[in-house]
């Protein structure tokens, strides 16, 4: 028996880690080189049994036992080396928040130091199984704090001075030239005293190095995305939400993906599952999507005027990817994920049934509205507890998942733990604001490829300016015109 750690957060802002046990079949598969990582849903216990073992049995005792009764007829027996290692885990579960965070980042090092010569290095390495839980962009788990970004906005009249300031989440705090020096001094003093913020013009400005950097960068040309007259700004998110921390790429490149070619790319044709004959511009768009996928790009933006069939192109592309992956890799692909505004979910379902022959993309998991009750394993949301609250196994076994931006935001730890073949962010201007939790959640999706269908006017007015903040690079854009 081997184990891994499942991460979450606690009320004191620290890490929570629960042991996950794996059986011999998973171990043998790893030893035979059939795979390098496994998914948490392959654990020895069912999700229900895992919750009982981790939350009730393992935490109930001060010391680790040789055996546990999980439920009627289900027992867990620990070999001596695993028992000693889990003893270190149990001790660290009672440590202070900073110690728990350090342990979660490098559990082998802590166990090696705690057990000393009692356990040899090869045995220690085999005690832990690497699970594929989050993408490489996810670097931590913590409480949601809106990022602080500099902004400059030129007024239309030359005789008026520029307006500038800092953006805290979705709130813009306007500053004057004479405010910069005293505000920097007040922030530096607050940081020295350990105070969390400085009040300025009735706004609480975070006392952090990020805020000081934002003030220093005001000489730059970062312009905040402008809203439509009829568009309302996203409401401020409560500060107590628990979220995954990602590489933002605001001031430096924290995360970047290299090109990694996929497949042979010798069949750039519409898949046989597509019902209608594609129009010439749709065929061109599909071939462009296929080319970007084969060349190894991490994502694309597909922009066109309304009514030119970007949904059809996206569905045709997903159907093609499914056939290519199944044929070339010889194994079941990970699911597709389609994220859309609530009002467009019915349209995606209807377009899928109208444009693709049965079974289409395959088994669908509807993760929104009343359908959530069928896949919830907890009554709380991910952002409330810092732990996944949706059925991981059900979502992994689906061929495609349909959800909303709001559901992705509230349950992003559940979604981030699922390897995704391709994600489609419909109406991608919903995640253009770098200071919103919607955008943060979208960045946590562990997808091999991303498609962003959007209207051409939205690309020109909103999305393209937003790409100057937090773009990981290697993004390709195609525009169709009627």
d(CA 193, CA 331): 57
Question: Residue 238's pLDDT is what?
Answer: 46
324 in helix, strand or coil?
Answer: helix
Beta bridge partners, 108, equal: none
Q: Mind listing the pLDDT tens digit of every residue in the chain (482 residues)?
A: 656 667 666 655 556 778 888 777 776 766 666 555 566 667 788 878 888 888 888 888 888 998 898 888 888 888 887 888 888 888 888 888 778 877 877 777 788 788 776 666 666 666 666 665 666 666 566 666 666 666 555 555 444 445 677 788 777 788 777 777 788 888 888 888 888 888 887 788 888 888 887 777 664 443 444 445 555 555 554 447 877 777 666 555 666 677 788 876 556 777 888 888 888 888 988 999 999 999 889 888 887 766 678 899 999 999 999 888 766 555 667 899 999 999 999 999 999 999 999 999 999 999 999 999 999 988 889 888 888 889 988 999 999 999 999 999 999 989 988 999 999 999 888 888 777 889 889 998 989 999 988 776 666 555 454 444 344 445 555 555 43
> What span, in angstroms and rounded, lies between the C-alpha atoms of 167 and 439?
15
In angstroms, what CA-CA distances link 423 with 154, 160, 452?
36, 45, 8
List CB contacts of 25: < 8 A, sequence separation 6 or more.
none
Tell me, what's the pLDDT at 329? 55
Q: How many CA atoms lie within 13 A of 231 on its CB side?
A: 11
Helix ranges (DSSP H) in 53-79 = 59-60
Residue 47 burial by Cβ neighbours in a 10 Å radius (0-12, 13-18, 19+)? middle
- Where along the chain do its domains lie? 2-133, 143-246, 280-480
The values of phi and psi at residue 310, to 5°, are: -70, -30
- Whose CA is closest to 330, among 394, 263, 392? 263
Q: In angstroms, rounded to a whole number, what is the distance separating the alpha carbons of residues 175 and 98?
A: 36
Residue pair 175/160 in contact (Cβ under 8 Å)? The answer is no
Q: To 10 degrees, what angle do helices 80-93 and 97-105 make?
A: 140
The rounded distance, in Å, linking the Cα atoms of 331 and 314 is: 23
SS3 113: helix
Q: Residue 4's closest CA among 21, 29, 28?
A: 21
pLDDT at res. 468: 41
In angstroms and rounded to an integer, the radius of gyration of the C-alpha atoms of the chain is 25
List C-alpha distances in Å: 41 to 219, 255, 325, 338, 373. 50, 27, 22, 22, 19
Measuring CA to CA, which residue among 394, 390, 396 is closest to residue 131? 396
pTM for the whole structure = 0.65
Cα 171 to Cα 237: distance, rounded to the nearest angstrom: 11
Architecture of domain 280-480: 3-Layer(aba) Sandwich (3.40)
Classify each residue of 157-192 as buried b or exposed e, where b means 16 or more C-beta atoms within 10 Å of its C-beta: eeeeeeebbbbbbbebbebeeebeeebeebbeebbe
């Amino acid at each position: 028996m081997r184990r891994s750690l499942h991460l979450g957060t606690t009320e004191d802002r620290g890490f929570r880690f629960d042991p996950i046990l794996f059986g011999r079949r998973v171990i043998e598969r790893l030893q035979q080189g059939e795979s390098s990582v496994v998914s948490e849903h392959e654990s020895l216990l069912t999700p229900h049994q895992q919750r009982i073992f981790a939350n009730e049995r393992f935490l109930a005792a001060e010391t680790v036992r040789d055996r546990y009764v999980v439920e009627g007829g289900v027992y867990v027996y620990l070999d001596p080396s695993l028992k000693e290692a889990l003893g270190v885990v149990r001790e660290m579960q009672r440590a202070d928040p900073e110690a728990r965070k350090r342990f979660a980042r490098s559990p082998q090092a802590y166990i090696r130091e705690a057990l000393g010569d009692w356990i040899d290095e090869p045995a220690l390495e085999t005690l832990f199984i690497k699970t594929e839980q989050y993408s490489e962009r996810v670097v931590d788990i913590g409480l949601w704090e809106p990022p602080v970004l500099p902004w400059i906005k030129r007024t239309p009249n030359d005789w008026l001075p520029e307006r500038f300031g800092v953006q805290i989440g979705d709130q813009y705090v306007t500053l004057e030239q004479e405010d910069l020096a005293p505000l920097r001094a007040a922030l530096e003093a607050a940081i020295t005293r350990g105070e969390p913020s400085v009040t300025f013009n009735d706004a609480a400005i975070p006392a952090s190095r990020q805020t000081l950097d934002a003030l220093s960068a005001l000489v730059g040309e970062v312009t905040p995305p402008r809203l439509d007259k009829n568009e309302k700004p996203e409401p401020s998110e409560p500060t107590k939400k628990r979220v995954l921390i990602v590489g933002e790429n605001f001031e430096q490149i924290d995360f970047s993906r290299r090109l990694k070619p996929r497949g042979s790319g010798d069949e750039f044709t519409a898949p046989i599952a597509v019902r209608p004959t594609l129009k010439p511009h749709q065929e061109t768009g599909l071939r462009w999507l296929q080319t970007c996928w084969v060349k190894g790009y991490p994502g694309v933006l597909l922009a066109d005027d309304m009514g030119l069939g970007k949904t059809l192109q996206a569905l045709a592309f997903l159907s093609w990817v499914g056939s290519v992956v199944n044929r070339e890799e010889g194994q079941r692909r990970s699911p597709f994920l389609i994220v859309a505004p609530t009002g467009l979910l019915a349209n995606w379902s209807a377009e899928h049934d109208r444009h693709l022959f049965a079974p289409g993309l395959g088994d669908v998991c509807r993760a929104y509205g009343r359908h959530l009750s069928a896949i919830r394993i907890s009554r709380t949301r991910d952002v409330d507890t810092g732990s996944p609250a949706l059925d991981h196994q059900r979502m992994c076994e689906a061929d495609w998942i349909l959800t909303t931006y709001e559901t992705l935001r509230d349950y992003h730890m559940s979604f981030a733990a699922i390897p995704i073949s391709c994600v489609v962010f419909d109406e991608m201007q919903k995640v253009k604001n770098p200071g919103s939790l919607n955008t943060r959640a979208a960045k946590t999706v562990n997808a091999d490829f991303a498609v962003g269908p959007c209207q051409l006017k939205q690309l020109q007015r909103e999305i393209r300016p937003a790409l100057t903040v937090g773009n990981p690079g290697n993004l390709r854009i195609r525009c169709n015109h009627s």
